[in-house]
A and B are shown apart, each in its own frame.
Chain A
């Protein structure tokens, strides 16, 4: 169970153009924790997510997934442990058919065809997308694409799920279904998002990122009440915590 832990220690990262995005980040996420990563546009959220499975390697500092440092040698193991779900499903669904796409990861792991099939069908069932398996991804709706993109990662049976803006571009009902789905997951979950109401629903803990540093790390309910902090990070109190415009018109 120890590989459900993410341990980040004094992490620095700059893009090749010299733009330093992460400036000394440290935190630890333990088994089964659901954590939100919030912050302004350009605060470094997406860059940080790419560090979790070694898509980017740190310039200084260390990323550890369950006591195993993320290095070139451990990439295969790390990527099996950490499932990364991209913001734009079109980036993630590249195979001709939904089934092939969900099978892509398991096949790369070298599982037998029977095992692959079982994993794929389980993953599709978990997101309620079994009926889509013989459709090409570009004919799906936004919500369907999102569900399939999640299945494509679930089929690897990761211990930790990392999601970039999972609720973007979804209609309210589909968004609600996604939240309900994520509630059923027992994985450690890290969600980078601007949807603070989703954070209230899903994540007991919140990390606030500001200009490449951790501005706050604590219980979601406390952070969401701290209007000063939120304002300084280009955020706003979740709508649900704001006054009702009908009962208390401003």
Chain B
């Protein structure tokens, strides 16, 4: 039963991170959203065996973590939670693709392992970029940005309400689960039967709440449109952030900087 509350607390914590006032937090949410999207597209668009050329992209999350004051340990845990999905996507590659691609001294590495490494690297990069976006922007700001960028209003509202009532619903579920656990002994009462009725109750309560909520909105003049009074304005630093990073991503996508760097260092050594 603690798990529901814990995960709620965790999501809430991600949100509290967004109240900070670092230079990254002050940027326009649209700029951060677009930059993150370009970053993700760039990372995902590399060919199957890309590893070396992906590594320089780590610069972006690292820079944002440092400037945006995002706790690395927390972020790491969040990434680990999602990691099994990526592992399962890539885990069969080493078994299916045994063609040796790279020799590291005596060690022969097959193409499967290389592509697996590539998948994991992409996973860490994209997931961390998305989490960092929420941590330095806040969910509702991301919604506002999505709406400004042309997402249909209905979806933006759905997302906003989903996020707002996630906490209420989660709290209610956690209390019900606890109440059940307190009156269940030796595992009796914890079966699927009660689980079904618990879920049913939760659904009914949610419908009731939705109705009250709608009344509350109507009472204050709701007419189908939600208006927000928070003008978003682009400043020079926003444009600079966007152009600087996306320029870098394009550059890193088109040219293999790691390779150049490697040859240059080797040249120095020789």
A residues near B (Cβ < 8 Å) are 50, 53, 55, 76, 79-80, 83-84, 86, 88, 90-92, 94-97, 99-100, 103-105, 107-109, 113, 116-117, 134, 136-139, 152-153, 156
Contacts and interface: CB of A to CB of B under 8 A. Distances in A.
Given A76-B221, A153-B220, A96 B215 contact: no
Nearest to A138: B167
Contacts, number: 84
Interface string B163-199: 1110110000000000000000000000000000000
B221 A86 contact: no
A153 B221 CA distance: 11
B217 A94 contact: yes
Contacts of A138: 12, 164, 167-168
Contacts of A84: 216, 219
> Main SS of chain A's interface residues?
helix
Please list the 5 inter-chain residue pairs (A to B) with the smallest Cβ-Cβ separation, ordered nearest first: A96-B140, A108-B221, A105-B220, A107-B227, A91-B212
Contact of B229 (A88, A100, A134, A137): A100
A115 to B, nearest CB: 11
Given A88-B212, A90-B168, A138-B168, A53 B163 contact: no
A103 B221 CA distance: 11
Contacts of B228: 100, 107
A87 to B, nearest CB: 9
Contacts of A92: 213, 216
B48 interface: no
B160 interface: yes
Contact of A156 (B12, B220, B222): B220
Interface of B: 12, 15-16, 19, 139-140, 143, 160-161, 163-165, 167-168, 209, 212-213, 215-223, 226-231
A129 B75 CA distance: 33
A91 B209 contact: yes
B12 to A, nearest CB: 7
A157 to B, nearest CB: 12
B221 A79 contact: yes
12 contacts: A55-B218, A79-B221, A90-B209, A91-B213, A95-B226, A96-B160, A97-B140, A104-B222, A105-B221, A108-B222, A116-B229, A139-B12
B217 A103 contact: no
Contacts of A53: 219
B229 A103 contact: yes
Contact of A117 (B220, B227, B229): B229
Contacts of A137: 164
A136 B12 CA distance: 10
Nearest to A55: B215
Nearest to B19: A134
A116 B143 CA distance: 22
B29 to A, nearest CB: 12
Nearest to A135: B19
Given A50-B215, A96-B163, 19 more contacts: A79-B220, A90-B168, A90-B209, A91-B212, A94-B165, A94-B216, A96-B164, A97-B140, A99-B229, A100-B229, A100-B230, A104-B217, A107-B227, A108-B221, A108-B222, A137-B164, A138-B12, A138-B164, A156-B220
A138 B140 CA distance: 13
Contacts of B215: 50, 55, 86, 91
Contacts of B140: 96-97, 136
Nearest to A153: B220
B209 A55 contact: no
